[in-house]
Amino acid sequence: MSSNMIPASEGNHPCFYSASRKRFGRIHLPVAPSCNIQCAYCHQDHDCLHENRPGVTSGVISPGEALDRLEKALVKMPFISVAGIAGPGDAFCEPELTLETFERIRRKGLKIALCVSSNGLNVLDHIPSLMELKVHFVTVTINTIDPGIGTMLYKKVKTPHGTILGGEAAQLLIDKQIETVSALKAAHFTVKVNSVIVPGVNDHHIPFLAKRMQGLGVDLMNLIPLIPLRGTSMAGFNPPPPAEIKKLRKLAGQYVPQMRHCQRCRSDASGMLDLKCQNNYA
Ligand code: SF4
Ligand code: SF4
């Protein structure tokens, strides 16, 4: 078995494997306080919209508190099979917090799969650590691979040398995302790509994006309808109607299997995915 291939005992992720969602749960540990990009549809005073519902602000906890929370949750909910970090900011804006949380969990010897979500800007250098820590599941949000579309979706990107804007920012982010997904698949991670669907901006581009993701070996795609937030430059946009999402999932599904049961959980969610709240976009 290659170094980062998932053991069968940890293949029970309720999000990546739809068949597992009625038997296994997940916990999100909100240790990631800040973000290294600015999406046009986000105003960063709540959870990252790529995995989470807007308007629900989670308290950030330390890696030590995260381990404590996980241990208590496992006593109450032994069906939890995966612990993930998905906000409230980006998990690799301050990567030391994410990695320390995973290190503490592994040092404790807890039998649980690990999962992380990111915009992909700053993951690449940390792939060896993720392998060492046996983090098998990674989600990268990729809304486009066209920098022209990217300039409408991303307002700025922070780099070690300063903040960049416009086409330069979009191109850098897209290059990092593609490089990251490619490296993750080469290292046998199970990779999901989330894409926020913004009507009139990237909806027409989704089949092309899915085809490219298939070429990279992506395991699963999750098309997420835009939630237009007050105070953002996309406040006046209409969210895509359910029929449009359904159509896009069908088109993208020709290339990459589609997730249809995402609940857009908050960054401190725990327990089973709530099937009662299942969206009607499937
Ligand atoms: Fe907001 Fe998430 Fe985008 Fe960061 S990556 S700007 S937290 S939606
Ligand atoms: Fe799973 Fe979606 Fe919830 Fe993330 S937001 S834990 S992918 S159901």
* Residue range 81-107, pLDDT digits in tens: 999 999 899 999 999 999 999 999 999
Taking residues 151-177, report their average pLDDT: 96
| Residue bearing the CA closest to ligand 2, atom 6 | 265
Pocket of ligand 2 (CB under 6 A): 15, 26, 51, 86, 262-265, 273
Kindly report the average pLDDT of the chain as a whole number. Answer: 91
Compute the distance between CA of residue 221 and CA of residue 247 in angstroms, rounded to an integer: 14
**177 φ, ψ to 5°?**
-65, -45
> What residues are in contact with ligand 1 under a 6 Å CB criterion?
35, 37-39, 42, 44, 48-50, 89-90, 119
pLDDT per residue over 199-236, tens digit each?
999 999 999 999 999 999 999 999 999 999 989 999 99
Please report the pLDDT score of residue 133 as a whole number: 98
pLDDT at 110: 94
Q: 208 C-alpha to center of ligand 2: Å?
A: 24
Q: What is the pLDDT of residue 5?
A: 57
